[in-house]
Structure 1
């Protein structure tokens, strides 16, 4: 079967997910094509290879697997209305997906993330810019068709936290800037997507400022870490220099007080491990000639969004947070580290990682784990 997203006029409770209709391309034995409409899908996220091979600027063909879908309408004999079903299909769409949803287990084209009931979308600054150019008074005004268009008319939950805490001058924002950014983005989103539910309350400003203050010291240590490494990691790492550059990363992490198991160190090591600057982690870190504090800030803001996602998944396991981003390198890094087993610990949150070969070829992931254990043993003595 091929699938289409239902017309927006289809009744759908607030934030209850998309309704999708699947129709056979051709009927069987002269019969009309079979069809089924389902709602309340839990779509399985897509993986690293599916993202790496996707041409996001073109109409996508999306493999879908779902569970717990409720059958709303069908002409298939023997299938009960309101029954539950799981299944799979290929969605041959007419939509591009310049915006990607990062969520538990991987990624989805942006609009398809809304299939899961109760999703809360955290758009980054690039996506806010795309929304500005694509929606007005709830209607799509942008050219072409994109999965982001499925936000129109949906009562989706939007949390503008990432926009506010990043600021607008590529540096850590102070209170007036954060307050102004929150006011600006709320006014815009209410106009662009009037049916959306903005997850902003009286404590939002205090929460954003608290997050900035709580992470400020670590943010500055990580910035110094990146600035120290940039001259070494801008050029491709040859096989001859692998051991030296790997040690450079670990030594810099220890020097600047950045945990060896942190995402930023993991990304820097992936930049070393993959030949010919082939790791998406290297593109995410934005290493280049003349690397500046502003470049480091932008990279850290991206990585912080993933750290926030991990915290949300660990602290609120029944919720469905999703980061919407247009940064393909960031999305590849998230899907490539295959974070799972999110959990709350005594004074922090944690998760397990199972990076793909494209980020850590050969035995390099075992080398990272060994170096982390060795450092932990030294600190414990």
Structure 2
């Protein structure tokens, strides 16, 4: 068994030896691990990490050490930390730098103003790890999303960022909370403005595509619906392999029995009276995904993890194993992997064929 003593880990080996090691990097967990812990809170999760400064029964070992161990989490891992290729419980993110979305900041505010509810125990337990001040927090996703289910104005964006920052300062008084000077705020909002046109295209695509997948599509009709979705992506100028399209295809290729909604269906939440506000919520979530993934491509020593309490978003990210990279010509690329967890109706060979069609 293992006991987390952040930032060090103490392990007791089968032969009775005690190992104390400082982790350098944890291998991310996947969506299967997320489902496992949701189905059985007592289930053990296999953690792998690289450590340094290991001591075996007090004797120091030089060099680095690769460790694999099973941990039984005391609490459900909410909020989730989305890192390149998967997710981790908050204290396992190294370096400890987080982008916080609106549901996390709003929960911190609610707890401060009204006290914790019964369902807040796990949230408080995990966030209390940062009371010592080791982490860096950035409320940029909170400000980007806004409070009115539409793109915020510049004034609304700046006000939301200040609100989010004030809330984080109160929640984590010893931590580092990112502050924007005027030039930084201008640059951050300019990035949001640059996405307005694409966001409008994505919204029109969603509003046209969602009626096609409100009800589960039969196997006999799925090819026809797939082609119609591709037509809509071309009509609205949306890249066929964009995240917004993948979410719709995940809903289309739902479990054939319909017993468990697919990851894309849980994210998009299709319904008969789907509105532009509903579409905005999905687009905003996917904007956070891109922001977090590509932060690793522009920050020298690793990305900011996206901290969210949204289970559907955590599953979407983890099933796709989202990650970003910067090419030699300074272009930023978003990468993902498609598997049967994301499109449960299809075999992997069929998913590979679809991926080739979407390129």
TM range (shorter): 0.7 to 0.9
Range 163-172 or range 37-46, more displaced: 37-46
Q: Are the equivalent residues in 1 in contact too, given 2:21–2:51 (CA < 8 A)?
A: no
Partner residue, 2:234: 254
Instruction: Say yes or no: does 1:339 pair with 2:316.
Output: no
SS in 2 for 1:320: coil
Residue aligning to 1:370: 356
Q: Which moved more, 1:226-235 or 1:40-49?
A: 40-49
Structure 2 CA distance for aligned equivalents of residues 364 and 135 of structure 1? 49
Structure 2: segments with no counterpart, 5+ residues? none
Q: Which residue of 2 aligns with 1:330?
A: 313
Match of 1:86 in 2: 66
Contact map agreement 2:205 2:232 (CA 8 A) in 1: yes
- 1:126 aligns with 103
- Greater shift after overlay, 217-226 or 332-341? 332-341
Residue aligning to 1:209? 189
Q: What are the superposed Cα offsets for residues 115-170 of structure 1, whole Å, 9 maximum, x if unpaired? A: x2x3320111111123335579xxxx964663333122132011111000100011
Quick check: 2:102–2:141 contact (8 Å CA) kept in 1? yes
| Residue in 1 that maps onto 2:52 | 69
Greater CA drift, 209-218 or 193-202: 193-202
Q: CA RMSD in A?
A: 2.6
Q: Measure how far apart 1:171 and its partner are.
A: 0.7
* 1:172 partner SS: coil
Report if the CA contact (8 A) 1:267-1:282 is conserved. Answer: yes
Shift in Å, 1:43: 1.0
Aligned residues of 2:297 and 2:303 also touching (Cα < 8 A): no
1:194–1:56 Cα change, 3 Å: farther
Q: Which runs of 5+ in 1 are unaligned?
A: 7-17, 374-381
Checking the alignment, whether the CA contact within 8 Å between 1:102 and 1:108 is kept in structure 2 is yes
Q: What is the match of residue 266 of structure 1? A: 246
Matched, 1:200 2:183: no
1:5 and 1:63, CA in 2 relative to 1: closer, same or farther beyond 3 A? farther
Pairing 1:158–2:140 present: no
Partner of 1:107: 87
Q: Provide, for residues 302-336 of structure 1, a one-character-per-residue CA deviation record: whole Å limited to 9, x for no partner.
A: 11111112322233353232001111221111111
Mean CA deviation greater in 216-225 or 46-55: 46-55
Confirm or deny: 8 A CA contact 1:98 1:146 kept in the other structure. Answer: no
Q: Paired residues, what number?
A: 346
1:4 aligns to 2:4 (yes or no): yes
How does the TM-score come out when normalised to structure 1? 0.83
Question: Could you report, residue by residue, the CA deviation over 1:52-79 in whole angstroms, capped at 9, with x for unpaired residues?
Answer: 22228946633211113333x5525xx4
Distance 1:164 1:57 in 2: 35
